[in-house]
Every structure is written in structure tokens, then in C-alpha cells.
């Protein structure tokens, strides 16, 4: 909403006619104070909105970073290799052809 110079002059003349020239400075001070309060209130609301919207966004970004790091660290082959190493430690591989005590189908 923009006011042209002519519209502002018409409003000023209407204020002078309605309230008189004696009250004009007081009206201007009150109007200026009201505008300052409105701007301050708007800034407070804007700051609160930014704070509230910033927290979830940064929280989501942190979670995304955690998932990315977990994906980088994930190695499915490492788990299989670890299981193989444990199996070898528990049961050493024995060549059944060399084992004389083994009874079973072994070709010699």
C-alpha cells in the first residue's frame, strides 16, 4: 500500500481540520511511537519464527549427516570376513585325505 504525495497531503489536511493544529505534534508523536512498536513486534515475531523453523532444519541436517556417516562406515563384506575368521579359529581346516582316523568317503 503506497501513498502518493497528494494522498498524504489530503490526510494531513483532514487531521488538521479534525483535531486542530494544537494537537498535531502530539498526534505525530503517538503515530511515530505506534509505528515503532509495530516494527518491534514484527521483528520479535520474525525472530521467533526463524528460531522455531531453524531448530528442526538443523536437527534434520544432523540426522542426515549421521546417516551419511553410517553409510560410509558400513561394509557388508567386513562382517562376512569377520565371521569367516571366527569360523577358522574355532574349527581349523583339516585335510581329510591326510587324516588316517577319519572314516568317511575319501578318495586316496
Grid cell of 17 as nine digits = 481540520
Asked whether 16 and 8 are in contact (CB, 8 A), the reply is no
What global pTM score does this model have?
A: 0.40
Grid cell of 39 as nine digits = 516494527
Rounded distance between C-alpha atoms, residue 85 and residue 80, angstroms: 9
Q: How confident is the model at residue 77 (pLDDT cuts 50, 70, 90)?
A: confident
What confidence tens digit (pLDDT) does each residue in 4-48 have? Answer: 999 989 988 898 899 888 888 888 899 899 999 999 999 999 988
Grid cell of 92 as nine digits = 581349523
For the chain, give every domain's residue range. 10-90
Amino acid at each position: 500500500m503506497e501513498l502518493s504525495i497528494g494522498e498524504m497531503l489530503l490526510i494531513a489536511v483532514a487531521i488538521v481540520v479534525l483535531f486542530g493544529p494544537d494537537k498535531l505534534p502530539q498526534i505525530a508523536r503517538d503515530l511515530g511511537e505506534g509505528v515503532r512498536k509495530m516494527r518491534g513486534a514484527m521483528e520479535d515475531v520474525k525472530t521467533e519464527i526463524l528460531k522455531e523453523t531453524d531448530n528442526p532444519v538443523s536437527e534434520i541436517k544432523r540426522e542426515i549427516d549421521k546417516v551419511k556417516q553410517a553409510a560410509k562406515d558400513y561394509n557388508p563384506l567386513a562382517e562376512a570376513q569377520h565371521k569367516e575368521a571366527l569360523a577358522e579359529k574355532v574349527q581349523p581346516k583339516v585335510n581329510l585325505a591326510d587324516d588316517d582316523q577319519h572314516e568317511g568317503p575319501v578318495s586316496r
